[in-house]
Structure 1
Amino acid sequence: MHAAPEQKVYLTRLEEVFVITVRGETDHDDTEEFEAAWDAADQAALPTTAIDLSQVTFADSMLLNALLDARRRHVSGGRQLILLGPLPPAVSRLLTLSGTIDHFTIADTGPSLTS
């Protein structure tokens, strides 16, 4: 018997900010969970979406593609997307090596917003 997949993406609303918190290891198995999060952010249509990545322990091209998709959706909708950190080494390395880090607004907040 297989264990149920662990939830990695959590959604909350703090006034006019839609917050998406990502925890643990992310990979291609999590694609649907991220797509659902972006859909929820689009439906909320708040001026700002903040993605808390401070608790990510592993990130690969799936997370990169998911973040680029979120950025595209927010730009086309006239909404702001902010990545919250401090960015863990896995995420920082992914964004730096891919040359995409400058495409994102990054705010180091200290402890996680939604610990």
Structure 2
Amino acid sequence: MHLTRHEQVFLITMRGEMDHDDVEEVEAAWTAADEAASPMTAVDLSRVTFADSMLLNALLEARRRHEADGRELVLIGPLHSAVLRLLDVSGTLDHFRIVSTGPSPAS
């Protein structure tokens, strides 16, 4: 995971498989984003090949906190089919603003 702070955007870049083993690293990233209090947090999920309920819950909680603080949360894709399926099956796909930077990654 990589964190970058720009003028108006705090960028969290995730890679590989994101599951319960990554909970501490993901929580640390959200804490850093909250402390930065940038108007927008962007989460680059374009290189995430698998995600489970840990990431889903973290994204939903981050969305709630961002809305409460008047900040924007944006997910950056294209999303791998496994991540897209997680959001779709959970009924949360429409809860997020997703922007794509290129063609969809291989499934």
Q: TM-score scaled to structure 2, two decimals? A: 0.92
Report how far residue 29 of structure 1 moved.
1.0
Percent identity for Structure 1 against Structure 2: 70
Counterpart residue number, 1:16: 8
Tell me the CA shift for residue 90 of structure 1.
1.1
Alignment partners' CA distance in 2, 1:110 and 1:49: 20
Structure 1's consecutive aligned runs of 4 or more residues displaced over 2 angstroms after TM superposition are none
Count of matched residue positions in the alignment of Structure 1 and Structure 2: 103
Match of 2:21 in 1: 29
Shift of residue 69, structure 1, vs aligned partner: 1.2
Q: Which residue of 1 aligns with 2:97?
A: 105
- Based on CA coordinates, which of the two structures has the bigger radius of gyration? 1
Provide the C-alpha distance between the structure 2 equivalents of 1:109 and 1:43, rounded to a whole number of angstroms.
Answer: 27
Give 1:26 shift: 1.0
Partner AA of 1:19 in structure 2:
L
**Structure 1 runs not aligned, ≥5 long:** 1-8
How far apart are residue 15 of structure 1 and its match?
A: 2.4
Report how far residue 107 of structure 1 moved: 0.4
Structure 2: runs of 5 or more not aligned: none
